[in-house]
């Protein structure tokens, strides 16, 4: 039993490039983002990875990233679950705003709290704690049982929904999770023990 779980953040989006808060908005990938997805797929193929199923969000940047990775692997026919639980954190009133403009309006410290704290939500949006609250049920009810059943599972999602999963897998606390960053197009490779704890973790950079 390999009990393999690979988490990958979508490639650079058009709003990543423009330094905008994205949240549940649905911009496409940039040319760089498309190449990041292809590169992630090539790196997985070079490692001989074969997946049994995949999970992604309801947002196109994660779905397209998954499609491009699976195309590189030649594994487009595996079952794919698209679930809102894996959507990016909802930034509420900040969505569509330039991050520098937000800092000028509300101050560096306040914007940093909204972006990186565990339980402080931006106006009209979600905190990371809220995001964990919707990611974790999907993980416990669908993703983890598949992995513990011996399947190799690929998850293509977003910076904050993946931070929620990393918090659980790496046993991080509300005080340590703010320092965690996940770059676009980078895959995190986990192998789990039978009791769901992490046997090994590797960062796969294209």
Enzyme catalytic residues: 10, 88
**Cα 121 to Cα 70: distance, rounded to the nearest angstrom:** 34
- Write down the residue that tokens 């993703």 correspond to: 143
Residue 203, judged by CB atoms within 10 A of its CB (0-12, 13-18, 19+), counts as exposed
Report yes or no: 76 and 107 within 8 Å, Cβ to Cβ: no
| Buried/exposed code over 26-44 (b: 16+ C-beta within 10 A; e: otherwise) | ebebbeebbbbbbbbbebb
Pick from 153, 156, 5, 151: nearest CA to 66? 156
Pick from 126, 147, 153, 183: nearest CA to 56? 153
Q: Any idea of the CA torsion for 88, 8, 200, 52, to the nearest 10 degrees? A: 110
**Cα 170 to Cα 5: distance, rounded to the nearest angstrom:** 13
How many CA atoms lie less than 13 Å away from 179 in the CB half-sphere? 4
């Amino acid at each position: 039993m390999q009990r393999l779980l690979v988490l990958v953040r979508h490639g650079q989006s058009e709003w990543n490039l423009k330094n905008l808060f994205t949240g549940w908005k649905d911009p496409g990938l940039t040319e760089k983002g498309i190449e990041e997805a292809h590169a992630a797929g090539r790196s997985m193929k070079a490692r001989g990875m074969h997946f049994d199923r995949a999970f992604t969000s309801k947002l196109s940047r994660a779905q397209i990233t998954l499609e491009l990775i699976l195309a590189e692997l030649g594994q487009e026919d595996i079952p794919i679950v698209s679930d809102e639980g894996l959507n990016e954190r909802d930034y509420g009133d900040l969505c569509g705003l330039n991050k520098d403009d937000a800092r000028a309006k509300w101050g560096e410290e306040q914007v940093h709290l909204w972006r990186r704290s565990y339980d402080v939500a931006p106006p009209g949006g979600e905190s990371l704690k809220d995001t964990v609250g919707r990611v974790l049920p999907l993980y416990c009810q669908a993703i983890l049982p598949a992995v513990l059943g011996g399947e190799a599972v690929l998850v293509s999602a977003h910076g904050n929904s993946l931070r929620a999963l990393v918090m659980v897998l790496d046993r991080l606390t509300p005080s340590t999770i703010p320092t965690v960053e996940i770059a676009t197009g980078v895959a995190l490779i986990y192998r789990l023990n039978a009791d769901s704890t992490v046997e090994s973790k590797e960062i796969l950079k294209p």
